[in-house]
Chains A and B, each alone.
Chain A
Amino acid sequence: MNGSSYLRLSPKSRTWTGFSQAWLGSDHLLIVNSNRLVEHYQRFAFADIQAIVVAEGGRRAVWPSAVALVCFALSTWVQITFGKGFFAVIGLAALVFAIVDIARGPRCRCILQTAVSGERLYAISRMRTARSFLTTISPVIEAVQGSAPAEDLAAQRAMTPQIATAESTARPPAIERPLGYTPEILFGLLMLDSVLVFVALQSTFSVAFGLLPTMYFAEFLIGILALVQSRTRSATSVAVLIAAFLCILIDPFALSGAAAWPSVVAVFRQPAAGTDPWNTRMAASGTAMLLAVGWRATMAITGLAVCHFERTAKGE
């Protein structure tokens, strides 16, 4: 176990995609939101926490109970044995869900308030958890901030200025984020693929079927990645990226696809006598091949040039 300075404040509040949990740090409250593969951390310094508000929510056991009732009714009504079993299992699962939900107590919505935000704590989803959470964290926060009666706090708050009026034109220095290399990788791949497409469309079906799907998949994947990371890029780069991605999307159906699929269909419908269709050469037309190879080469050269100029302009 790795050394950790955190103490658990709440059980995991699970959802379909992950969980949320509250932990007590030395000088802050840590909220962990996990999607199972990545944990995201939010820290709230004890000195910054202004209030914690918990409101009891409704019970959600009504729906599972209704589902359970309907399923049990259907299981008695249906004549087929499989249907009976199916509805009985679903009904039982819904019933267990409802019982567990009731046993865990009423739900709640918890909001942690600071001077600049009101953060919903999904980790605190039950009133029972909320009570133990407040019991643990309140003394810790009060040890840092001190304590005062609510009426005094309200009176003090009414007297303090609400908005800072300090005018300052100076700003902290801007931080330049370095440009990533994903677009260059994409355009480099397109350049390489232009050669591979040429080879694939000139060779046998077995070679083409080995190469083309892999290429499409790689281009599609890196294209998405490049688009996701294109926020810091110039408008020209983004425009070229979008154009390249559109071509990647269209290509398997119209460009290189137009070169490959008709000949595939023709050969597999009427294979030449005594020949294995997989070893038949692709009969792509010159225009289709020119289009499939041409757009990749053009996009690659344009994209690499745009990226180069963008880097030069930024002084990288």
Chain B
Amino acid sequence: MTLEGILCSACLRPLPVELWSGAEGQRCPFCQAPVLVKVFPAFAQFKSGSLPQPLMADVEASCFYHAQNRAATPCDECGRFLCSLCTLEISGKSLCPVCFETNRRGRKIQDLESSRTMHDSVALALAIFPAFIFWPILVTAPLTLFWIFRHWNSPRSILPRTRVRYYFAGLIALSQIVLIAVVIVAIFMVRR
């Protein structure tokens, strides 16, 4: 028995039900690649979004964005009444699309963050790479120190991560500044 849905990740053809058990040593009947398949009950469940209910009487509260729809819940941020079409359930909160966007832009809810800049890696790259052609360190060494101070408390990765890159970047930048100072002093002494 073959159902559309569970596809072999090598040849993208549907895998028969007999292979769904998750047991080792099975092969895709089409490409013969050894496969490991694990299917979960969500595969058999049909999820349909709840449709907004129309307003039946004038006394009923309507959605802020759809005057014809009955309000189902208030937004937890701005308090506007929302129909089920406009309600977004995020991290235990019911939000309207506008507050959702505000939270996303303001990085207020971690679960909405789709990317983060690793300022410690930027500082380290800024400290290391320009040193290969030497003269840019006149600018990049102070810039690295500025970057470290500016972003010391900026949000880091949402994963476990230490500040060790900041320390290394700071050390390298300070060494570069000392080197620049030595070179400048040496030039002055030679000229005299």
Q: Which of B39, B65, B68 has the most CB of A within 10 A?
A: B39
Q: Is B38 an interface residue (CB 8 A)?
A: yes
Question: Of the 9-residue stretches A144-152, A251-259, A267-275, A306-314, which lies at the interface with chain B?
Answer: A144-152
**A54 interface residue (CB < 8 Å to B):** yes
Set of chain B residues within 8 Å of A55, measured between Cβ atoms: 8-11, 28, 31, 33-36
Q: Which residue of B lies closest to A141 (CB)?
A: B40
A53-B6 in contact (CB<8A): yes
A225 within 8 A of partner (CB): no
Query: With A43-B111, A173-B97 in contact, is A53–B3 under 8 Å at CB?
Result: no
User: Which of these, B3, B35, B47, contacts A56 with CB under 8 Å?
Assistant: B35
Does B148 reach chain A (CB closer than 8 Å)?
no
Interface size, chain B (Cβ < 8 Å): 62
Q: Give the one of B7, B34, B40, B156 with max A CB within 10 A.
A: B40
Question: Does the CB pair A4–B43 fall under 8 Å?
Answer: no
Q: Could you count the A-B residue pairs with CB atoms below 8 Å apart for me: how many are there? A: 181
CB-CB < 8 A to A158: which residues of B? 3
For the complex, count residues of A whose C-beta is within 8 A of B: 66
Q: Pick the residue among A30, A134, A148, A172 that contacts B44 (CB under 8 A).
A: A148
Q: Are B115 and A1 in contact (CB under 8 A)?
A: no
SS class, residues of chain B in contact with chain A = loop
B86 & A172 in contact (Cβ 8 Å cutoff) = yes
- Judge if A131 is at the interface, Cβ distance under 8 Å: yes
Q: Counting CB contacts under 8 A, is B174 at the interface? A: no
Please give the distance in Å from A128's CB to the nearest CB on chain B: 12
A1 and B20 contact, Cβ closer than 8 Å, known pairs A37-B118, A56-B35:
no
Query: Could you tell me the distance between the alpha carbons of A159 and B1 in the complex, rounded to whole angstroms?
Result: 14
A40–B38 CA distance with the chains assembled, in angstroms: 26
Closest to A27 in B: B111
Complex contacts, A109 vs chain B, CB 8 Å: 9-10
In the complex the two chains form, is B3's CB within 8 Å of A168's CB?
no
Chain B residues near A171 (CB-CB < 8 A): 85
Residues on B with C-beta less than 8 A from A166 are 48-49, 51
Q: List 29 A-B contacts (CB under 8 A).
A: A2-B161, A4-B158, A4-B161, A6-B158, A37-B121, A37-B125, A38-B117, A47-B42, A51-B20, A51-B39, A53-B7, A53-B8, A54-B35, A55-B9, A55-B33, A56-B33, A110-B9, A115-B47, A127-B36, A147-B40, A150-B17, A151-B17, A153-B44, A154-B1, A168-B51, A168-B52, A172-B85, A172-B97, A173-B98
Interface residues of A (CB under 8 A from B): 1-2, 4, 6, 23, 28, 30, 32, 34, 36-43, 47-57, 108-111, 113-115, 118, 120, 127, 130-131, 134, 138, 141-142, 145-148, 150-154, 156-158, 160-161, 164, 166, 168, 170-173, 175
